[in-house]
Structures are given as C-alpha cells and as structure tokens.
Amino acid sequence: MSTIPQHDELAKRTGHLLAACGAKVTNGDQMARTPITGGSLGAAGAAGDIGAAVDRAHDAFEIWRTTPAPVRGNVVRRLGELLREHKSQLGELVSIEAGKIRSEGLGEVQEMIDICDFAVGLSRQLHGLTIASERPGHRLMETWHPMGPVGVISAFNFPVAVWSWNAALAIVAGDPVIWKPSDKTPLTALACGALFQQAARENGAPEHLLQVVLGGGKQGADLAAHEGVPIVSATGSTAMGRKVAPVVAARFGRAILELGGNNAAIVAPSADLDLAVRGIVFSAAGTAGQRCTTLRRLIVHRSVHDEIVEKVAKAYESLPIGDPLADGTLVGPLIDGGSFDRMQAALETAQGDGGTVVAGGDRALDDEAPDAFYARPAIVTMPGQTEIVRSETFAPILYAMAYDDLDDAIALHNEVPQGLASSIFTTDLREAETFIGAAGSDCGIANVNIGPSGAEIGGAFGGEKETGGGRESGSDAWKGYMRRQTNTVNYSRDLPLAQGVNFDV
C-alpha cells in the first residue's frame, strides 16, 4: 500500500506542471484542490463571463468558418504534437487534480492525441452527397457548413479527454469553442487551453478560437441559455442533463448530451471466467468507480454466479489502494467526501433491500489522509434489481445478480433508465450475436468479451434513454457540429418543377 505524499510538495509540483504547459494561473474566486490529500492547490482564477466569451467567439467565427477545412486541421495537428510533447506533465496533472492512477492519467492524454489524429484526417473528408435528381439538367447535392460557437461543459472524471472529443471535431468543422470545465478540475483545463493557444498562434488562427471559462453552475446555465451558442455539448449526470436539455431546446439550439450510465455485464455459463474476472474488476474498480462507463451491475448465470462473485471479491481484496502517482497503485481516491457519503448511503440502502456486502465498501487510509476519501471497491449480492440498483451511484459499487435464461438476463439488463455501455462474456456465438442485435442490449455501446468501460476514438461514443442520445468522438459524430444544407443547381435552359407540377406564366 502506497504512502500518501506530502501536500506541500504536491502543490509545488502542480505549479511546475502548469508552468511546463505554459499555463498562467491568476488569483480569483475559483479554487483548485487535489483528492489525493483533500487539500487546496490555491486559486485557479476568476469566474468567467459567458456573454463576453460568446461575443469574442463570434468574432473568431467570422474568420474561421471561411478558412478551408484542411487549414483548420493544421491547428489540431499542432495541438496533437504539443500534447505528445507534454503527455507526461498533463497526465500527472490529471492524476493530481482528478485522482486517477498514473496510467489512467496518461491514457486520458493519449485519448486527446488520438482524437487530434482522427480530426486532422477528418479535415479533408467533410464530404456530402451527390443525389440523383428527377429533373433533367439539374444537380442535387448536400453540403455541410460550420454552425457557430460550441459550448462544452465537461465533468471532473474525464477532465480533458471528453473536452477534446468535442473540441477537435468542432475546430475542424469551423466552430469556435467555449469550454466550461468542471469547477473540481480547473487546472487541467487551463493547461490544455494554454497548449491550444500556442497551436493557434503558430498557425495564424483567430484569437479566441478556444476560450476556457471557469465557474460553477451559473456559468454552465448561462452557456446553455445563450442564443449565440447554437450547440451545447454537456457531460455529467442525468440530473444535470434534465436542466440543460429543455433550456437548449427552448431556444431551438442543438444539445449533445452524454449523461449517466448504469452499465451491466452478463456472464454466460460458457464464458471464459478468468477473462471475465479481469474485465469485471477493471470496469468496476478502475478510476475508483467514477467513469460514466463503470460496470455497476453484474448479471451472472446461476451456475457460475457464486464462483464469479468469489473470484471478483478475492481480486478486490488484493487491489492496491493509495497514492495514484505511486507505481503499483490501482485504485485512487474518490473526488471528495460527498462521493464517499453517497457510496455509504447506497450500500446501506442495498443492505436494507436484502443485499449482502461480500467485500469492500469501507474507507481506507483515513488515518494517513484524513481529508481525502479513499474507498475499498465493494461487491454486493442482490436478490433482484431494486431501485438502488437501478440508480447510478458514482462510486465503486458492483451489484451482482443471478439469472437462468438469456432472455431474462437481457430483460434485466435493459430494465434501467440509463443506456450507455454494456457487455456480455460468452463463447457462444448465438448469445453474442443476440446481445448486440436488435433484440439485445438497448445501449449505445455493446461489447462482447470485454467490459463496458473504455472506448476507442474511432467509434462514436454515447448512449440512449437517460444517457441523453448524444454522440461524440469518432464515426460520423462530426455531423453534430455542422449544419446540413441541400443544394439544387439548375444548369439547363428550362425550369422543370419537381413532382411534375405545371405553373406556366
């Protein structure tokens, strides 16, 4: 078990990391802290003015929307290069501010690098269609155009990756970006913003192409409500989405929502159990259970239920918990005391519903770090899918339930309001194809023989139902940041009307 570092040394290290990325931190009312020790890292700056930021973004838009897309891609290419150069510093900063273990912090920066690579290629492929026209001498086609400023509201658990999924696509699409990061992770945003500004300057891009606006709920609400922001991408809880979505819809804006996840894995009797256990443990305990794709429900065939639970519990007991920057640590801290309290309340409710805590659930290292909140990942066997199981608790709690028939398992899987990520462990081809088919998982992501946690840049990321329906990152998610225009060009000397209409004058 690792030793928690001295807070003063951690704060000093944070200053060096910010300086290495070219970030300048000013005094103000926005404060930064680290969940590693629970202590303050000092001021991060002042809360921003969304209205002023939108005005500046529109000035940038006037230039950027007519800049050729491959030229826009040069800014993102340079950003990717700078991220590679500063990967270790940014990864460490993510660990300090969000509490992720070192490999996950570095992995998050790698996601930024990957989406930059994707977006650079995309900048030469923002293509529409040529469509057969029913009228002679006419060409029918569709083109795609920039929309305007994109507001990005990001969450603490992925303080930089999710922003980049949106920003890289928006920038090559011709849209300036206004980024309102979580008020729990402002420093990582300032560091990324500084690197972006360097990339923009070196490529002659307009000023204010990216603006980082610090603040809390007021800034997020102002961004969602501003009519000068045609697209708002918001990542967070379903409760947050319920506030953002109607505000954006009321002004006929476009919302890209990536909200709560209550993700499950089905373990079939034919599954490779050792492989399944590895996938389950990472998906459920990784990032201290604070991923939107974290595995929260385990639906196991009755014939292997007890064996799987025993193996997962044994693995949990051996997980190194502690300083996320230390080699060998696999579980870092929860973001704050509120998260730990919600975890304890959920466990108490689950036990009241007949659940049994098989392993974990208690606080760790409280004598060594009394102001931080480290928790041992919990596995709880449940008699059925009670209301607490149907709710998302952003903490490392895994509810295990037994099933007898695959149809029943899929029904149990789908019987929650969230629909983000899902998985099945099986070596039966029919079961695998059924799960990812039309009558299987109702989630935006459905995996076979890997857990629900973790995604590659090439695929669109997002979910259905209370997860919000938004899509970010790969595939054709870029269309969410542009407007489609249908064009008809008449190159004949006649004016035939569609559908054979006669209107002679």
Cα separation, 248 vs 236, whole angstroms: 16
If 0-12 CB within 10 Å is exposed, 13-18 middle and 19+ buried, where does residue 447 land? Answer: buried
Residue with tokens 């974290």: 294
Token pair listed for 502:
């006669």
Which H/E stretch holds residue 180?
Answer: strand 177-180
Which H/E stretch holds residue 300?
Answer: strand 295-301
Taking each continuous run of H as one helix and of E as one strand, the counts in the chain are 15, 23
Determine contact, residues 307/301, Cβ cutoff 8 Å: no
Cα separation, 200 vs 71, whole angstroms: 11
Could you count the other beta carbons within 10 Å of the beta carbon of residue 145? 13
Token pair listed for 85:
């150069």
Given the residues 258, 392, 431, 466, select the one marked as catalytic.
258
β-pairing verdict for 374-375 and 445-448: unpaired
Phi and psi angles of residue 426, each rounded to the nearest 5 degrees, phi first? -160, 155
Told to judge if 258 belongs to the known catalytic residues of this protein, a careful annotator would answer: yes
Catalytically active residues, by annotation: 258
